[in-house]
Chain A
Amino acid sequence: MKILVGIKRVVDYNVRIRVKPDGSGVDTDGVKMSINPFDEIALEEALRIKEAGKAEEVIVVSIGGDECQQQLRTGLAMGADRAIQIQTDQALQPLAAAKALLKIVQQEQPGLVLLGKQAIDDDNNQTGQMLAALWGRPQATFASQVVLEDGTATVTREVDAGLETIAVDLPAVVTSDLRLNEPRFVKLPEIMKAKRKPLDVQPLADLGIESGHQLSVTRHAPPAQRARGVMVESAAELVSELKNRGLL
């Protein structure tokens, strides 16, 4: 079985982003970029499944300009066998991303597709569900545990009410939540080795997808700021402050 893992290049989660003064976007100049943390977890899971002897090959795929090859190489250094770049300078919306991934799914025929549940830049949380819908296959989103057996994935999902478990027939799309695993650190020799692993570049235009109806993003703004608060010195003072505000 092959496992396909989607990884997105995003602003590192430790960076405090700033909205450009003209509202045209978010400042990404000279900002540290990383693999979306949820995708890194998805990749780690794929690698563990392979190491447990339940998959033969792990393929990482990213959609973006050539700069995303950096994240693909990191994925290869983590242990993926080969990489595919869907090359485009446009920022794809989730529907188009799902359609592009579907083309790769049709080429590669994976038994499992693992994606992060959301990318921490646009926070859309859509692509995995959309890919599953377009592919006509099951989805198991927000996974905190994945058990593969006899062509079935039993997936524990982090839902508002607690932990839900569903079983889905393979092939399927699984999206990772934070507690699925802790990704490994990449060791230097692996980085060297990763340079020799295959990275196949496929121009988006060659995939022949229709991006469908697009949303237009017309303006970026910083969030409303909360007014500066007050400091109190003791528990007793805190209680009387809360009483003054009618909160107790």
Chain B
Amino acid sequence: MSRTLIIAEHGGGRLNPATAKCVSCAADIGHPVDIAVFAETAADIAAEAAALTGVDKVLTIEDADFGQPLAAMIAPEAAAMAGDYSHVLGPSTTYGKDLMPRIAALLDVNQVSDIMQVTGSHRFQRPIYAGNAIVDVEAPEGAPVVATVRTASYAAAGNGGSAAVESRAAGAERPQHSRYLDLKSEGGDRPDLQTASRVVSGGRALGSADNFELVYRLADKLGAAVGASRAAVDAEYVANDLQVGQTGKIIAPDLYMAFGISGAIQHVTGIKDAGTIVAVNKDAEAPIFEIADIGLVGDLFQVIPELEAALDDG
């Protein structure tokens, strides 16, 4: 029964890249890996999951009730499947954070939240206090390990697999008390913040939604995703899904550029795994410079246009 089940995350008929990162974490645990796809129509998503390197089986559980990501619908079914597994993993995205603890409670176990490293089949490292301390956690033997995977700590598994896809019938009782209504997404054609290799972020200093255009323009020039501090989101310069940090997205791009962001611990915890951090701030004492790889003291309203010009010059 040493076997790992990953609950796939998907949206718009596609597998979310966070799932491939869970596969990499599962590989470190070392047991055979299955992926469960709960969906109304699972075939395309299952095909993507089956292609991930290191996956043994993909199980599809199709039902109209699984067409939307409602934790209360999926948890009883996932908990019923858990009997065949030693480990049940999900990503520490909002989807996984919502769902996995509900599964854990049904199995009478605590969840290991935000695995950043596997040090044994039941031993893990995870961050607490917004990443200001790392703890070693040991889960008891003889009970299923339910965990979320801190996606910024793992590279996505490759696409060299050809797992078998099996369909399973849904059997658990489903509640009538929860209904999905809608999702409002700003979307757009820009790269996705969670997977982009470059991210350009703006803070309170931008001062308005209109001024935030500066950040968008530079991002487009670099083919980068756009991020923001909580202050910029609270002030409604940009939508909530662009927030980076403890309560926003934890990201690990190759290049992160922060403009007019002070570097509060809650923000910095979201970018600690970035390859190179660039900070532009007019205050030389701003804490963001303590973690920046390249710092520039200056006014962003001057620096961004100069950067654009320098980039145009090649």
Contact = CB atoms under 8 A, between A and B. Distances in A.
B311 A220 contact: no
Interface in B117-171: 127-140, 143
Interface residues on A, range: 35 or more
B98 interface: yes
B122 to A, nearest CB: 9
A129 B306 contact: no
B255 to A, nearest CB: 5
Interface stretch (A1-9, A56-64, A92-100): A92-100
B208 interface: no
B303 interface: yes
B307 A235 contact: yes
Contact of A218 (B111, B137, B278): B137
Interface string A147-178: 00000001001111111111111001000011
A226 B293 contact: yes
Contacts of B297: 231
Given A94-B101, A215-B139, A123 B134 contact: no
A138 B194 contact: no
Nearest to B198: A247
Given A159-B94, A213-B110, A223-B133, A164 B182 contact: yes
A48 B310 CA distance: 52
Interface stretch (A65-73, A76-84, A196-204, A236-244): A236-244
A16 B265 contact: yes
Quick one: which of B97, B180, B183 has the most chain A CB within 10 A? B97
B13 interface: no
A117 B94 CA distance: 11
B247 interface: yes
B247 A178 contact: yes
B129 A17 contact: yes
Interface string B89-101: 0000111011111
Contacts of B51: none
A94 B110 contact: yes
Contacts of A133: 75, 101-103, 105-106
A69 to B, nearest CB: 24
A236 B307 CA distance: 7
A217 B95 CA distance: 26
B71 A242 contact: no
Contact of B130 (A120, A178, A215): A120
Q: Most chain-A Cβ atoms within 10 A of its Cβ — which of B110, B130, B272?
A: B110
A142 B98 contact: yes
B128 A121 contact: yes
A178 B230 contact: yes
A222 B294 contact: no
A126 B111 contact: yes
B129 A120 contact: yes
A129 B98 contact: yes
A122 interface: yes
Contacts of A130: 101-102, 104-105
B247 to A, nearest CB: 6
A89 to B, nearest CB: 19
B72 interface: yes
Contacts of A205: none
B186 A213 contact: no
B1 interface: no
Contacts of B293: 226-227, 229-230
Nearest to B274: A226
A124 B111 CA distance: 8
B63 interface: no
Interface string B253-282: 011000000000110000010011110000
A42 to B, nearest CB: 14
A219 B311 CA distance: 47
A123 B105 contact: no
A163 B242 CA distance: 12
Nearest to B114: A123
A107 interface: no
A220 B241 CA distance: 31
Contacts of B222: 248
A123 B266 CA distance: 12
Contacts of B249: 160
Nearest to A171: B177
Nearest to A165: B181
11 contacts: A13-B266, A125-B101, A130-B102, A132-B102, A139-B71, A159-B94, A178-B234, A226-B272, A227-B293, A229-B295, A235-B309
Interface of A: 11, 13, 16-17, 19, 26, 93-95, 98, 117-118, 120-134, 136-139, 141-142, 144, 154, 157-169, 172, 177-179, 212-223, 226-227, 229-239, 241-242, 245, 247-248
Nearest 7 CB-CB pairs, A to B?
A235-B306, A129-B101, A130-B105, A162-B185, A133-B105, A126-B101, A229-B293
